[in-house]
Amino acid sequence: MVTPTRVPLQTLVLLCFVVHPSRPVCVDIPSETDAVLGKSMKLTCISCIKRDEIKSKTHVDWYYMPNKEKDAPPNKTHIYKYDVDSPVESDGPFKGRLEWNGSQDLQDVSIRIINVTYGDRGIYECVVHRQFEFDSFKPSVSLTKEIKLTVKAKATGDAAALYSEIMMYVLLVCLTFWLLVEMVYCYRKISKSDEQALDTA
């Protein structure tokens, strides 16, 4: 006969063997657009792959365009590229101030600007080109994202973000306390049922 205390333990052991380890999930989030003078700034560019088991060759290009006036032709400058498993920084005003900030699986192809200046204001363009490798054909897909960057002298606090963070911690403490109460209650209930089972035996 299996006692009530052994049933949850056996169920927990069974779940440990049945549940498979989860894979990281790719989430496409927008980039921050407000940089602080003299600080570093991450330009986020995410291109999710729906099926990561498919092999692909990825090529990434980053371009910079200063804020243009109306009806003026775009002045696009190539500033960074990722090709053949290695990032390459282009010559120009950003030379020595850009670094790769992407992931190993190339779903996150972000870069970081070091020591931001007022001259870095403008539009940044991230162009991702993937060529998938199948047996019979090699389809390709391209993705273009634009980030309009502004530069401020000082960082401004976000009241909504601060309020959300405080509420998150309060909720976390409340849920932890509730979980402890439930665990103590269940433990006492199981102990009483064991004592009753021993008394009747």
- Asked if the structure places residue 20 within a domain, the reply is no
Q: In this structure, how many other beta carbons lie within 10 angstroms of the beta carbon of residue 89?
A: 17
- What single-letter amino acid sits at 161? A
Least confident of 13-17, 96-100, 167-171, 175-179: 13-17
pLDDT for 1-33, tens place per residue?
445 445 455 555 544 454 444 455 667 677 888
Given a contact cutoff of 8 angstroms between Cβ atoms, the answer to whether 117 and 151 are in contact is yes
> Is residue 25 included in any domain, yes or no?
no
Which two three-digit tokens encode residue 72? 């003026």
Q: How many domains does the chain have?
A: 2
Establish if 2 belongs to a structural domain: no
Looking at this protein, which amino acid is placed at residue 173?
A: V
Chain Cα centroid distance, residue 44:
9
pTM: 0.62
| Residue 171 structural domain | 159-193
pLDDT of residue 25: 65
CATH number where 87 lies: 2.60.40.10
